[in-house]
Amino acid sequence: MDEVVAKELALLRPDIRADAAEVAGLLHDDFREFGASGRVWDRQSVAKALAAEPGDGGEAHDLDAVRLADNVVLLTYATGPPARTALRSSLWVRDGGTWRILFHQGTPSPSSSPLRVRRATPVDAALLTEMMFVDPSREAIVMAGDADRAARFQLALLRQTLASADGAVLVLERDRTPIGFAEVTGGGDLPPFRIVARTALHAFGVLGTVRAACKSSARARVDMKALPDCVHLVELQVHPDARNQGAGGALLLAVEEEACARGVGNVSLTTTIDNPARRLYERHGFAVVAEKRDPRYERLTGSPGRVLMVKPLAVTPR
């Protein structure tokens, strides 16, 4: 019984979850899981998903172990923060002298705080920009010159999106506290140069704008146009304290719902080639349709280039 409990608790640890081979070794060949999200998982898909985003499985409490037969043990328990609050059960069987999980189920607890998506207002702009720069991208800082200038520039762009008829910012909240957001626009061309230039002057000043313009030529060589029949995801941001808890997936679902409401057939985004978030996008059905590389861009940002990713949606065009 102690061995089974120890192995179950090990699966909540980030270092174990990050090792796909270690996780697979704890799961029976015929393993199945009914996840808290409603998805059905098998052995390989669980091991792969946890390795991509190990996170912290949370703290287990109210754990109870019952021996159903000599080679069968049922564990029930609850998990809490930093993972989602859920009631969990695992059926362990002794297979060839080794205990492995045959079945697991997670059910959201009634006490868990639901996630809620709402549309942002101009009042939200400063808070969302602050969230973005808790863990800013290297590209944003390099292009602007420093984090403060980058934040002023992003704040101005975010305010323009909120004021435009074609843009929207979707805020994800837990307990009425924003934990992430998605900024979207209609597909097609990039923002007009005059708008970007005016925003840069406001954020950087004249000299700073000249310096940023010299660097922006490298970014321009890896930029790609969004598809015309799409909603384009400009920014997807999740507060570091809320990552690996389903927030990114919830925001992507909200973006898809926005696209369906607009009657367009695709969601697109661009990101750096080496962005770890690509694994999240790929799991949610996005595929790379174009890629651009540039040596100067790589020298400036550390990334070899950018990719355009698209997810087709099953919608009826307007």
- Amino acid in the structure at residue 140: A
Q: Contact at 8 Å (CB) between 284 and 202?
A: no
pLDDT at residue 11, as a whole number: 92
Strand, coil or helix: 207: helix
Lowest mean pLDDT of 159-163, 232-236, 287-291, 305-309, name the range: 159-163
Q: Contact at 8 Å (CB) between 224 and 288?
A: no
Is the bond preceding 110 in cis, omega lying within 30 degrees of 0? Answer: no
Strand, coil or helix: 32: strand
Q: What is the DSSP letter of 205?
A: H
pTM here is: 0.63
pLDDT at residue 193, as a whole number: 46
The values of phi and psi at residue 145, to 5°, are 110, -35
Strand, coil or helix: 277: coil
Distance CA 140, CA 149 (A): 9
Q: Which residues contact 6 (CB under 8 A, 6 or more apart)?
A: none
- Give long-range contacts, CB 8 A cutoff, 24+ apart: 198-203: 199/153, 199/156, 199/157, 199/160, 200/153, 202/152, 202/156, 203/144, 203/149, 203/152, 203/153, 203/155, 203/156
Q: Write out pLDDT tens, residues 82-97.
A: 566 788 999 999 988 9
Helices 147-163 and 125-132, packing angle to 10 deg? 140
pLDDT at residue 204, as a whole number: 59
Q: Is the pLDDT of residue 58 over 80?
A: no
Distance CA 188, CA 228 (A): 4
Distance CA 148, CA 238 (A): 20
Distance CA 50, CA 56 (A): 10
Distance CA 53, CA 43 (A): 16
pLDDT at residue 211, as a whole number: 63
Distance CA 95, CA 102 (A): 10
Paired strand residues for 161: none
Kindly indicate the confidence band of residue 207, based on its pLDDT and cuts at 50, 70 and 90: low
Distance CA 295, CA 91 (A): 53
Paired strand residues for 252: none
Q: Write out pLDDT tens, residues 113-139.
A: 578 899 999 999 999 999 999 988 888
Closest by CA to 36, choosing from 81, 84, 76, 77, is 84
CA distances from 184 to 129, 130, 249, 288, 316 (A): 15, 18, 15, 19, 20
Distance CA 59, CA 12 (A): 8
HSE at residue 69, side-chain half, CA atoms within 13 A, is 6
Q: Which residue has the higher pLDDT, 175 or 209?
A: 175
pLDDT at residue 266, as a whole number: 92
What's the chain's average pLDDT?
85
Helices 147-163 and 193-220, packing angle to 10 deg? 130
Closest by CA to 235, choosing from 148, 117, 298, 155, is 155
